[in-house]
Chains A and B, each alone.
Chain A
Amino acid sequence: MTPNVSLQSSETGRPATRAAWLLFAPLGAWLVLFIVAPTFILFVYSFFHGIGVREVQATFTPGNYARVFGPAYLRIFGRSILYAGATTVLCALIGYPVAYYIGRADERRRNRLLLLVMIPFWTSFLIRTFAWYTILQRQGLLNGLLEALHIIPTLLHAPIELLYSPTAVMITLVYTYLPFMILPIYASVEKLDNSLLEAASDLGAGPMQTFRRVTLPLTGPGIAAGVIMVFVPAIAMFAVTNLMSGGKVRLIGDEIEKQFYSAGDLPFGSALGMTLLALFMLTFWLATRSAAKGK
């Protein structure tokens, strides 16, 4: 009886707060258990000494970070940023026109096109990557098509060697993350009020001016969201890059995986992970800040 009375009589909002906490509890527990705690463990480990394969001595050292910021690993970080950056730019360049076209189409068409964008999500990411593997390999679909069209051997002398090259890595990355660019931009284009475009035209702005001064600033938040959703996961991509490049392109994700599995240097792997996390947060901060400026 007592809790019931307190719920009804109180107008201070305290029982409601208690209810809110109760509702939040499952999510809170999940966040603590799977996000906060592991991150904290990584953070602590990153300052330990690695003394053997998966063996750790719990004494403080900044040495792992000194190694991370040494030339060898900075180069890998730089390469990862380059690949992720190029992926983001290509996704934006390809994704923006696509998202714009879908966003301005009439409703029936729009839903069909959106479905097409989302269909790849129905199969496993790994399977889709292997599909590219079979398309790009020497005896693969692409070269087969080129031969069927007699482009090989007339225009090109030999089958093109796409697999096991940086190009293959870029194709895979752009292919994988393109929908993550298209969808947020689509959402902002779809909200774009047509009368604003008409107003710009009415005030003397040609199509290019209208795009630059109205469409682009108003879809800026969509682009910023797309940049975060592509750049952040792309920079941490691993295994697939290794597969598509035949081990030629090693990115930071591959390196972290190596430290935890084959090398077994847990503290150093943790330091790499923490640095990557800092990079994520920097990206996020930059993207949201530029989106806020655009508004």
Chain B
Amino acid sequence: MVQLVGITKRFDQFVAVDHVSLKIEAGEFLTLLGPSGCGKTTLLRMISGFETPTEGQVLLAGVDVTALPPYLRDVNQVFQSYAIFPHLNVRDNIAFGLKMKKIDGAELKQRVADAVEMVGLAGLEQRKPSQLSGGQRQRVALARALVCRPKVLLLDEPLAALDAKLRRAMQIELKRLQQQVGITFVFVTHDQDEAMVMSDRIAVVNHGKIEQIGSATSIYHRPATRFVADFLGQTNLLAAEIVQQAGDAVQLLLAGEIRLTISAATIPAGAGPLLASIRPEKIRISEAGGERSLRATVEEELFRGPTSQITLKTTRGQSLTAMTANSNSSPVPRRGQSIFFAIEPQDVVLLRD
């Protein structure tokens, strides 16, 4: 539905987007995830037409729209600030795009009514934006864009201004809405939880480039770069050395003390130093040692409701973060306590730095 071909955007000397190529399928919910200033919003604004790429093309349903202004593109955007017209009431805000398309009479009425219904604003049609809550304004912005039935809906951090509880509710609602209307959504956020909950695919953006693209599970479990491993969720990054290789079996030494045997196929190509990424919830801790388990001291424990986060210090002084579920009644290790931890080879993801 959307295809970016070798897109580069430079502002004077600053390269905001650096040779990005990306294909977004029809009906897909794609999230551009990255820290602020990574170029994700610029990328979005080149799809909507507010920025013109310095190099490359934007294709929309197979048609090159690179030179088209926003008002001639069949995409609509939900702005971070919502950008609701303050001088128009809810109804006229939602009808704006249809009026521009010269749709009027019964069809206009019906489509506006449907959009109002869809986002749950029934009864508020005559309200002015100043009389609406943040969540309601957000719905107006959404309805105003969706009522135009765009090929693609672009959402620029639309939930950033909402409080945590409303945000979580809106994430689920947005996802449901997207499945209901079947429109391609391109969503920009810096919130990794939001990205994981909502997206079919996530493109992790950093320094104007897409570091990795894939489903939430694939990116979370098999991050391709150090940045992705670190940005999406929490992780432990340990220096890894190959100690010995016999056929497919490779013996690794992590942080100078943790020995593991893995398959040679899991070692990424390239020349940079090897790093091992281990998610905190994969580190198993126990009071009694077992096979392959190592000793450590509990440095700190943070209770987080469903989970507890435990910082360990290994005998050689390496810090490790582990996560335990508080689902069973087993006691949470106390600070200063000596315990054992173990890492399974299949839970280690190797990266090149």
Q: Chain A: residues with CB nearer than 8 A to chain B? A: 193, 195-196, 198-206, 209, 213-214, 217-218, 294-295
> Count the A-B residue pairs with Cβ separation under 8 angstroms: how many?
64
Q: Which residues of chain B are within 8 angstroms of A199 by Cβ–Cβ distance?
A: 77, 79, 83-85, 144
A205 with B87: in contact, given A195-B79, A198-B50, A198-B79 (CB under 8 Å)? Answer: no
Task: Give CA–CA (A193, B79) in the complex, Å.
Answer: 12
B48 and chain A: residue at smallest CB distance:
A202
Known: A198-B50, A201-B69. 12 other contacts (CB 8 A): A193-B83, A195-B80, A195-B81, A198-B77, A199-B144, A202-B77, A203-B96, A203-B97, A203-B148, A217-B87, A294-B87, A295-B87
Please pick, from A198, A206, A209, the residue contacting B83 in the complex, using a CB distance under 8 A. A198
Could you tell me the distance in whole angstroms from the C-beta of A155 to the nearest C-beta in chain B?
A: 42
Task: Give CA–CA (A214, B85) in the complex, Å.
Answer: 7
Summarize A's interface: helix, strand, loop or mixed.
Answer: helix
Quick check: is B101 within 8 A (CB to CB) of the other chain? yes
We find that the number of chain B residues with CB closer than 8 angstroms to chain A is 25
Q: Which residues of chain B are within 8 angstroms of A195 by Cβ–Cβ distance?
A: 79-81, 83
A196 with B83: in contact, given A202-B77, A203-B100, A203-B144 (CB under 8 Å)? Answer: yes
Q: Is the CB of B101 within 8 A of A204?
A: yes
Could you tell me the distance in whole angstroms from the C-beta of A268 to the nearest C-beta in chain B?
A: 46
Could you tell me the distance in whole angstroms from the C-beta of B129 to the nearest C-beta in chain A?
A: 11
In order of increasing CB-CB distance, the 10 nearest A-B pairs are: A204-B100, A203-B97, A199-B83, A195-B83, A201-B70, A217-B87, A201-B71, A202-B77, A204-B71, A205-B100
Q: Which residues of chain B are within 8 angstroms of A206 by Cβ–Cβ distance?
A: 69, 71
Quick check: is B86 within 8 A (CB to CB) of the other chain? yes
In the complex, per-residue mask of B96-132: 1 if CB is within 8 Å of any chain A CB, else 0:
1100110000000000000000000000000000000
Q: Which residues of chain B are within 8 angstroms of A209 by Cβ–Cβ distance?
A: 100
Q: Which residues of chain B are within 8 angstroms of A202 by Cβ–Cβ distance?
A: 48-50, 70-71, 75-77, 145
Task: Give CA–CA (A209, B97) in the complex, Å.
Answer: 11
Q: Is the CB of B79 within 8 A of A203?
A: no
A206 and chain B: residue at smallest CB distance:
B71
Could you tell me the distance in whole angstroms from the C-beta of B314 to the nearest C-beta in chain A?
A: 51
Q: Which residues of chain A are within 8 angstroms of B70 by Cβ–Cβ distance?
A: 198, 201-202
In the complex, per-residue mask of B284-298: 1 if CB is within 8 Å of any chain A CB, else 0:
000000000000000
Q: Which residues of chain A are within 8 angstroms of B72 by Cβ–Cβ distance?
A: 204
Q: Which residues of chain B are within 8 angstroms of A218 by Cβ–Cβ distance?
A: 86-87
Task: Give CA–CA (A286, B100) in the complex, Å.
Answer: 31
A193 with B81: in contact, given A201-B71, A204-B101 (CB under 8 Å)? Answer: yes
Q: Is the CB of A204 within 8 A of B148?
A: yes
Could you tell me the distance in whole angstroms from the C-beta of B104 to the nearest C-beta in chain A?
A: 14
Could you tell me the distance in whole angstroms from the C-beta of B347 to the nearest C-beta in chain A?
A: 45
Q: Which residues of chain A are within 8 angstroms of B49 by Cβ–Cβ distance?
A: 201-202
Q: Is the CB of B71 within 8 A of A205?
A: yes
A216 and chain B: residue at smallest CB distance:
B87
Q: Which residues of chain B are within 8 angstroms of A200 by Cβ–Cβ distance?
A: 85, 96
Max chain B CB contacts within 10 Å: which of A203, A205, A217, A295? A203
